[in-house]
Structure formats: C-alpha cells, structure tokens
Structure 1
Amino acid sequence: MKELLIVVDYQKDFVDGALGFAGAEALDGPIAQRIAQVRAGGGDVIFTMDTHGTDYADTMEGKKLPVAHCLKGTPGWQLYGQVGASLLPGDPVFEKETFPSLDLADWLRERDYDTVELCGLVSHICVLSNAVMVKAALPNAAITVDARLTASYDSDLHQKALDVLEGIHITVTDR
C-alpha cells in the first residue's frame, strides 16, 4: 500500500505572520509527528507552499484579500517550526500562487497512491481545495483529513469545510 501525506501551506505567515491566527501554532508538533510516522512506515511526504510575488496586490487574490503574505523568499514564506525542520532534501514541494495546485494534481495523476492524507492550513481554503484536486487526480484513493491537524481562523467555516470534505467522500478523522 502506497501512502502519501500532503502538508498544505504550514508557513510562518499563516501561523504567526501576516495571516496568522490563534491555535495555528499548536498544530506544529502534531503535524511534525505525523510526518515522522508516515516516513517511518515507508510513506511519502510532500509539501505545498503558498507563493506570491511583489505583484500580489495586482492579482485577483490580492484584490480580494489585500494582505501581502507568503512573498517568495521572505521569512513569512518559509515553512514553520518543526514542520519546516521536517522537510528533507528531495521532498517534493509545490509552490502555488492560488489555493489549489494544478501541478500537484498533474504530479499525482502519474502516481499510484492507495491512501492520501492532507493536513495543514487553512482548512476551509487551501486544505479543502487541494483535497478536491487529490480526489480528481486519484479518484480511487482513500483520502483523509485528520481534523486535529488542520485549522482555520473561523471555527464555523472550519466545521463547514469538514462537512464538505465528508460530503465528497473524503474521510475526516478525529472530529
């Protein structure tokens, strides 16, 4: 059985930077532990990184969310804490300029994972949209999101995102 863990956008700006929120830092240790468990079991770990340039204010996202964040090369763009320290040379990293990653979906279509788990930030935005991409790329894989390993700055939207994930046949554990 081929297992994959996707760590979505666990970056400094989403934890304690420009768009950080209370509770995001509490995911650091548990996500790092999950990364270690997956590696110990022979599974693969990949990362996505929200990545913007100096033209962020001119993008559609920048117009709707006028808070510069995850500007490539800045401290806020870096992976946060223990999770960042868990990145190994050779781990695939998908830089993405919007919520989901088409490059991730294309990469997944060329692989044969039986199980895929997503974790990271933000549950109702990037975790949800990348989970949809995983579902499209690997329609027969067992896809999960552990509710303890994702969060949002809005608890209502977080719960709604978990509901939507379940509605599209993604298993949400530890809810």
Structure 2
Amino acid sequence: MSTPRPPLSAQLVLSLFSSRWEMFWPDLIPSLESFLGRLESAGTPIPFSETTYYEAEFGTPLQRRLLAFEQLVPQERLREIKLWSHDLEQKYLRGGQRLFNLDPGLLTQERFVLATGKNFTHRIYLGDGVFADLTLIYQAGRWQTLPWTFRDYAAPVLQHQLTQLRLKYRAKLGIFDKSPVRTS
C-alpha cells in the first residue's frame, strides 16, 4: 500500500523562444525574478528550426533558451507558473503579437515535464486550462524520448543543457554522484 506524500521540490526551467531578443532581453529578467526568484542560469541560445508553426507570429530566426532559477519549487506550482507566464507574455505584446513564448517546466531526477495550454492524448489536466506534458524521462544514465517528445527536446544540444541542469539540481539535493536513478 502506498502512502501519499509530497514529492521532492523540482528545478524550475523556463523554455523561452523568440526571434526578437533585442526587444525584451535582458529587460525581461527583473520580471521573471520578481515572481520566480533569482535567475541561476541562462543557457546558450539554440536555433529553433524543427517547425515553421511559430514563424508567422514570432518571425525568424527563432532561438530557444533554457532558463533555470536558484530556488527549487514545489511540483504543484507548475499550473500557477504557467498561468503567470501566459500573463507575462501578454504584457509584452507588440502589435497584438507575442514577442516571446514562455513554457515552464519541472526537471526532477526522473523526468522533465512541460506545462502547456494544449490538450493531447498523453497530457494530464492540472486545472485552469493547464496540462502537464511528460516530455522526457531519465533512465539508464541518459534522457529517453517518448513518442510525443518534441523534436528539439530529442536533440543532443538541448538534452545536454538539461543534463547540466539535472546535475546542478542533484547537487542542490545533496546528491553528487552521476549514477542513474532507479524509477521503480
């Protein structure tokens, strides 16, 4: 019999992409830090070319950047953070279009989960129009993709950045070895 208990807090990761960085970066950082705490790292921008879906709204060339914050967050905050990030996107509208897209995610030892407002077969409803998307799992010492994993999250460059964030996360938990985590 299992006994319900809260899980460990997670590493908050914001996936931010845009083609108009000069219009909001680094001015966006104080807004992020006012709600999420001190920004710990901003990953190297990664070209976002797996789809043309966002080009009409954001232009080209799109780049994705992973942002991580110093303070770990309770996992149940994912819904709240997604709603807040949506509001922040709206504050930066120019000509009725977003300057950037913010997708909050939670990185744990076992998985990486993104929040989204779009329903799909594998997504779990969290409330208030927000769904959790299990994007990657960590097994056997590396990230494992799933049939629905976005192509850019399956790419080595983005997984490398997530691995580095996972190592920092484990250090925050007091776990310093690089051995895989058992998930059963």
> After TM superposition, is the score higher than 0.5?
no
Say which one has the larger Rg.
Answer: 2
**Structure number having the greater helix percentage:** 1
Tell me: higher relative CO, structure 1 or 2? Use CA pairs within 8 A at least 6 residues apart. 1
When the two structures are superposed, what TM-score results if normalisation uses the length of structure 2?
Answer: 0.30
When the two structures are superposed, what TM-score results if normalisation uses the length of structure 1?
Answer: 0.31
**Structure number having the greater strand percentage:** 2
